[in-house]
Amino acid sequence: MEYKEIEWEGFSGIEFEFDGLNAKLIKPNVKPNGKWALKTEYFGAFPALEVELLNRGWHIAYNENYNRWGQERDVVRKCEFIRFISSEFSLDKKCAIVGMSCGGMYGVKTAAMAPELISVLYLDAPVINYLSCPCGLGVAANDLFEEFHNITGLTISQMLSYRDNPLDKLDILVKNNIPVILVAGDSDTVVPYCENGALLEEYYNKNGGQLEVHIKPGCDHHPHGLEDSNIIADYIEKF
């Protein structure tokens, strides 16, 4: 494995290839505490939480996806990557997930595939229901289905009976006591909360899952995060 030294947001780190795709591990400037978080997609976007965790002694990791639509080969590699980071760098066997938008979809699917590797999920405007995003069959105002179709070959008709949604994995998360902090805007037009995050909120509340929800009045899909990143970081550190 060849590691290249990099800098990111005032922190040092390394960049390398994992399974032929770009990977990064960013190191804290303070004494490491052995904890780490995996950003599942859109590395570098809305980084306030990652910076806060780094300042608390966490590492931040990332591994590129073939695409952003949660296909099994990417989810399998996520699990392998978590095991690699834990072993190679002597970090905790479980990591926290930072999943924004499509990254939230990856977070849920990874936790469902290997719940023993995940301590907590931070999901921000997550894609939970493919019929909403990318299909746009409800109130969502997005034009993402062509991209999804070109990657997967799936049609709208096939999506009506598709059963690999994050929504279809929530029972595994609750059964394995995986806590979630959920952040979303109540005016999201791309990944509407009523068709996505609200379904997770309803399932967790109905089935006794550990959940904290923060809804941002008047907020569209962006920006992600909260004005005070300590709120999210504090929840993550509880687990």
Which residues lie below 8 Å from residue 158, measured CB to CB, with a gap of 6+? Answer: none
83 has pLDDT over 90: yes
Q: How many alpha carbons lie under 13 Å from residue 142 in its C-beta half-sphere?
A: 24
Q: Kind and range of the H or E element at 76?
A: helix 72-88
The answer to whether the CB of 95 falls within 8 A of the CB of 111 is no
pLDDT band, very low/low/confident/very high, at 1 (cuts 50, 70, 90): confident
DSSP code of residue 46: S
- Amino acid letter, 109: K
Question: What does the pLDDT read at residue 90?
Answer: 98
The CATH topology of domain 4-129+166-237 is: Rossmann fold (3.40.50)
156 closest CA partner among 141, 127, 134, 139 = 134
Q: Give the mean pLDDT of 158-182.
A: 97
The answer, yes or no, to whether residue 110 has pLDDT greater than 90, is yes
Strands, E, within the chain: which ranges?
4-8, 11-18, 21-26, 36-39, 59-63, 95-100, 118-124, 180-185, 211-216
User: Confidence class of residue 25 from pLDDT cuts 50, 70 and 90?
Assistant: very high
Percent over 70 (pLDDT), the chain = 100
Mean pLDDT of the chain: 97
> pLDDT band at residue 120, thresholds of 50, 70 and 90?
very high
3-state SS class at 186: coil
pLDDT score of 65: 97
